[in-house]
Structure 1
Amino acid sequence: MEWQLQDAKNQFSKVVQKARTEGPQVVTLRGERTAVVLSIEDYDALKADRPSFVDDLLAGPAWDDALAEAIGERPAWRHRDGAL
């Protein structure tokens, strides 16, 4: 079901209840779909088995030996005060 923003604000408890019993509730602003109210079950289902941002970064491509060596050989950057 779609709700205009003003109606969703005025009847928020009803929007939440319908999200729990009928599924996602779409909120519109000036006729544009802008937000969705989900039950916690629907939200958890969307997040299930998805890696976190950190997990996704850590699962990136492996470094080959040449890249690791090149990074290890880079000169250290000096701060403006001359410290490493």
Structure 2
Amino acid sequence: MKWQIQEAKARFSEMVERTLREGPQTVTRHGKPVAVLVRADQYQRLRAGGRTFKALLASAPLDGVEIRRSREKARIIRL
């Protein structure tokens, strides 16, 4: 089920109960998905196999790939 943010805040307990019964619940802002509520055990399973982005890059097969870095100075952006 999709919940608008205001509705999710007002009916959070019901949203949790539906997550337990029906599965993940999506929260939307202006009609676009911004968050998903999942069971804690599901979240732990998803996180257990996860690696950091750095570890993922370090394990990438890069044989034959040439990586070059530009020696130009970075441009300065003034805010």
Q: 1: distance between equivalents of 2:14 and 2:43?
A: 18
RMSD: 2.5
Q: How far off its partner does 1:25 sit?
A: 0.3
Give the secondary structure class of the aligned counterpart of 2:41: helix
Please state if 1:32 is matched with 2:32. yes
Aligned amino acid, residue 23 of structure 1: G
How far 1:51 sits from its partner (Å)? 2.5
Shift of 1:28: 0.7
Which residue in the other structure is 1:13 paired with? 13
- Whichever residue aligns with residue 30 of structure 1, its letter is H
TM-score normalized by structure 1? 0.58
Alpha-carbon deviation of 1:32? 1.0
Identity between Structure 1 and Structure 2 (%): 39
Deviations 1:50-78 (A, max 9, x none): 224675577689xxxxxxxxxxxxxxxxx
**Which residue is equivalent to 2:44?**
44
* CA deviation vs aligned residue, 1:24-46 (integer Å, no higher than 9, x gap): 10011111111111110110121
Which is helix-richer, 1 or 2?
A: 1
Structure 2: gaps spanning 5 or more residues:
62-79
CA distance in 1, matches of 2:59, 2:31: 40
Matched residues, number: 65
